[in-house]
Structure 1
Amino acid sequence: MPTVEIYTSPTCGYCHAAKRLLTQKGVSFTEVDVARDPARRPEMMQRANGRRTVPQIFIDGRHVGGCDDLYALEESGKLDPLLTAT
């Protein structure tokens, strides 16, 4: 199972939606709350090519984008192969 990381903040509806989709798919993920740990935001931005908004999602270290990007992968049938790749 690939490693999934998601940078979030507690009041972000898009973060909740992204986590809900991953949970529905039975995917475990590591969550980094940048509101609780603001020192991690520059790390997120560097990894996400300058993107400042949350969520920012990574699968096996590869940046897949935010919530809309995650749902676009799901709708196009490209998310499951990323989540099952070894």
Structure 2
Amino acid sequence: MPLAFASALARAFPLTTPGGALVCRRTVAKPSTQPARRPPSRWVCATASSAAETARNAIASSPIMVFSGSYCPYCTRVRALFEELGAEHTVWEVDLRTDGGEIRRFLAEETGQTTVPNVFIGGKHVGGCDDTIELLQQGKLMDMIDAAKIQM
């Protein structure tokens, strides 16, 4: 009987959607008799510094680096702007990354900006969507992009 129930449950709640996207599923586990163990704080710090180092490397190696949110209309606008300009750019959807929280903390500490998009051109922080569009309207954006291409 338990096998039939498990089989029916799997059919009722598949692991993927018809489009093939993975679905997270909660499972019920037996309570442990062992006390909960937390990793030593040095592990947590190592993860945070690894995420920060990864972000630093991406900023340094990309002419245009955009830290984005998949849900964000301002991020979509910035991505579309760079695509229309034909500018080579790298986009990280921080909300879809496992280290996204650490990256956002790093960006907040480095830039003072807690929102996305968070745009860097030639390793220099330029701000968000409004800041990027303002640079375009002032005629400065293309100069920054050209200078970034030369640096890289």
* TM-score, with length taken from structure 2: 0.52
Q: Distance in 1 between matches of 2:110 and 2:89?
A: 17
Decide whether the 8 Å contact of 1:4 with 1:30 is kept in 2: yes
Q: Does 2:90 correspond to 1:30? A: yes
Q: Distance in 1 between matches of 2:95 and 2:131?
A: 22
* Equivalent residue in structure 1 for 2:120, among 58, 62, 85: 58
Q: Which has the larger radius of gyration?
A: 2
Decide whether the 8 Å contact of 1:14 with 1:55 is kept in 2: yes
2:108 maps to which residue? Answer: 45
Deviation at 1:40, TM superposition (A): 1.6
Q: Distance in 2 between matches of 1:40 and 1:29?
A: 18
Deviation at 1:43, TM superposition (A): 2.1
Decide whether the 8 Å contact of 1:47 with 1:63 is kept in 2: no
Q: Residues 27-66 of structure 1, C-alpha deviation per residue, up to 9 Å, x if partnerless?
A: 1111121101223211222332x21100010011100000
Deviation at 1:69, TM superposition (A): 0.3
2:140 maps to which residue? Answer: 78
* TM-score, with length taken from structure 1: 0.90
Q: Distance in 1 between matches of 2:108 and 2:90?
A: 17
Whose strand proportion is higher, 1 or 2?
1
Structure 1, gaps ≥5 residues long: none
Between the two proteins, the alignment pairs up a number of residues equal to 84
Task: Give me the identity figure in percent.
Answer: 32
Q: Distance in 1 between matches of 2:83 and 2:136?
A: 13
Q: Distance in 2 between matches of 1:6 and 1:46?
A: 17
Deviation at 1:21, TM superposition (A): 0.5
2:72 maps to which residue? Answer: 12
Secondary structure, in 3 states, of the residue corresponding to 1:52? coil
Whose helix proportion is higher, 1 or 2?
2
